[in-house]
Structure 1
Amino acid sequence: QSKCMVDAVGKGTSTIRHKITEAELRPGRTVSGPVLMFVADVALYVAIFGEVGIVPQAVTTSLNFNFLRRPSADADILGVCKLLKMGKTLAVGEVSLYSEGDPEPVAHAVGTYAIPLGVVVRRPA
């Protein structure tokens, strides 16, 4: 079961919240990298599904991740996603990750998802 919660979904956007537990901290009380990568992937997944609906066969094809600074061990991690391109077969988005209450990002990711053929991408009217 995921500890990620959806805070918001908008037109090509999403905001995800992940509550950090002691088990997710590395020595020195820093949030582990895989946790941050997971939050970024979920934020991208939710933003895409906000555009096309739930598509179980949509999969991550790439995730480029940059760690910018140490996240707080005592704050939720927020993943804020913006889709850069929503094509027929590929979706590309960027995710900025924050420790809640801090305006400076702790990490940045750019990811691509493969969208199965036949999925109708909703376009603005």
Structure 2
Amino acid sequence: MALKMTREDLEEFVSQVFPQVAEDFTVMEVAPMEITVRLNVGERHLRPGGTISGPSMFSLADVSIYLAIMAMIGPKALAVTTNSSMDFMRKPAAGVDLIAKCRLLKLGRVLAVGDVLLYSEGMAEPVARAAMTYSIPPKG
């Protein structure tokens, strides 16, 4: 399967469709059925104690799968999460960006299933794992 959107296309798409969060994320790499996305961690992403909040980690996982799907099918803004599961495995390092490594496991006509590992930048072991299913809008 060939990509329908490049890294630059994806960043422009997010800027247009989700301007409220566009600066939070940077697409680092995109390949067929895979994407790497950075959460540009700021003060608003932290919880007491200085670690990255669970909602911020979830957001990174969700955006990563969404963008991996867009890269493969083209800009379909109305694709939505229909199921998710997240395992928080380690405390993220304080004050460093999170990196999501996402792969799509299934990309069908109406459903996509993906898996994401989240890493604190510079750490070898993942801090969280997410599995998500997306509903893809019908053509037309």
TM-score (ref. length: structure 1)? 0.91
Provide the residue aligned with 1:94 in structure 2: 115
Q: CA deviation at 1:57?
A: 1.4
* Runs of 4+ residues over 6 Å off in structure 1: none
Aligned-partner residue type, residue 66 of structure 1: D
Give me the whole-angstrom Cα distance separating, in 1, the residues matched to 2:44 and 2:61. Answer: 19
- Give the secondary-structure state (helix, strand or coil) at the position aligned to 1:30: coil
Correspondence for 2:36 among 7, 10, 15:
15
TM-score (ref. length: structure 2)? 0.82
1:115 aligns with 2:136: yes
Give me the whole-angstrom Cα distance separating, in 1, the residues matched to 2:38 and 2:44. Answer: 17
Q: Which has the higher strand share?
A: 1
- Give the secondary-structure state (helix, strand or coil) at the position aligned to 2:117: strand
Give me the whole-angstrom Cα distance separating, in 1, the residues matched to 2:111 and 2:50. Answer: 37
- The superposition leaves residues 48-76 of structure 1 with CA deviations (integer Å, 9 ceiling, x where unpaired) of 01110110111111110000000012211
Q: How many residues matched? A: 119
Q: CA deviation at 1:22?
A: 2.1
Correspondence for 1:38 among 51, 56, 59:
59
Q: Which has the higher helix share?
A: 2
Q: CA deviation at 1:117?
A: 1.6
